[in-house]
Chains A and B, each alone.
Chain A
Amino acid sequence: MNNYELTLIVNQDLESRFDIFKESFDKSLSEMGFDIAFTEIIGKRFLAYPIQKNTKGLYIIYQLTGSPAAVSDLENKLKYDNSLLRYFLQRVETHTLANSFLTEDTIEANKKAEAKLAHKAKQDALEAQAKKSNEQSEASKDAKVTEPEQESESIKEENEISDKDTEIDNSGSDDNSETNEDEVKE
């Protein structure tokens, strides 16, 4: 019988069904002949880099005791488990029967994230207020924008008339008509 440490990164989509997943996993471990000495449930953590496009993962660390034959069974199961992003099975001399630094670190990180969210919510509320006032001013702006289009059309017509009248100032009037077209497009 050897001592092992098994670290799992579970897909964050399973967060709502995490307890069910853990129960079934514990069951399969005991069926394979493993004794669970200690489980550390770290919870949701930001990954240092995305794995299969996931930015967060649920971490669990198991301290197990079992036979080497059972380990190959376990590795076969882990290999084909789609709910796991990563697993790390390591033989250890002695079990660590206390929470690691990760739990502490994750709790602190979550606290910071919550504080950030609260701050964001406040800012969003302020922005929403600012937007409302902006929308009112924009509505008045839109009305102004439609007016010049009509004006430019009338200018164009005037230009065409002027072209017919005086063919000498062709270049100048062409420039005018081009700029007018741009305005219409806008």
Chain B
Amino acid sequence: MKSVKLPNKFNHTNLDVLKQFITETGKIIPARVSGVNAAQQRKITQSIKVARFLALLPYTDQHK
């Protein structure tokens, strides 16, 4: 299991934080793999989804 750095405060703009929690293909890494707690995981997924909407993170690696 890789060690992850999670600050107390973050939102969808903290791409350096969020990129730790997506795979190469753009999928969100499950909490059982990353080892973060449930509350943290809820915040991470929400932030990643917002960042995707704003084209800051990819949905997939197959965007045209």
Contact = CB atoms under 8 A, between A and B. Distances in A.
A49 interface: yes
A86 B56 CA distance: 12
Contact of A88 (B14, B53, B58): B53
Interface residues on A, range: 10 to 19
Given A48-B63, A50-B63, A88-B50, A102 B15 contact: yes
Nearest to A56: B55
Contacts of A85: 55
Majority secondary structure, A binding face: strand
B14 A101 contact: yes
Contacts of B15: 101-102, 105
24 contacts: A9-B55, A48-B56, A48-B58, A49-B55, A50-B64, A57-B55, A59-B54, A61-B13, A85-B55, A86-B53, A86-B54, A86-B55, A88-B50, A88-B53, A88-B54, A90-B50, A96-B11, A100-B11, A100-B13, A101-B15, A101-B16, A102-B13, A102-B56, A105-B15
Given A101-B15, A102-B13, A48 B57 contact: yes
Given A86-B53, A88-B50, A49 B16 contact: no
Interface of B: 11, 13-16, 50, 52-59, 63-64
B29 to A, nearest CB: 17
B63 A49 contact: yes
Contact of B59 (A49, A57, A90): A49
Given A101-B13, A102-B13, A105-B15, A48 B53 contact: no
Majority secondary structure, B binding face: loop
Contacts of B64: 49-50
Interface string A47-86: 1111100000101010000000000000000000000011
For B11, B14, B16, B56, the residue with the greatest tally of chain A CB atoms inside 10 Å of its CB is B56
A7 interface: yes
A7 B63 CA distance: 23
Contacts of B57: 48
A85 B55 CA distance: 10
Contacts of A86: 53-55
A48 B14 contact: no
Contacts of B55: 9, 47-49, 51, 57, 85-86
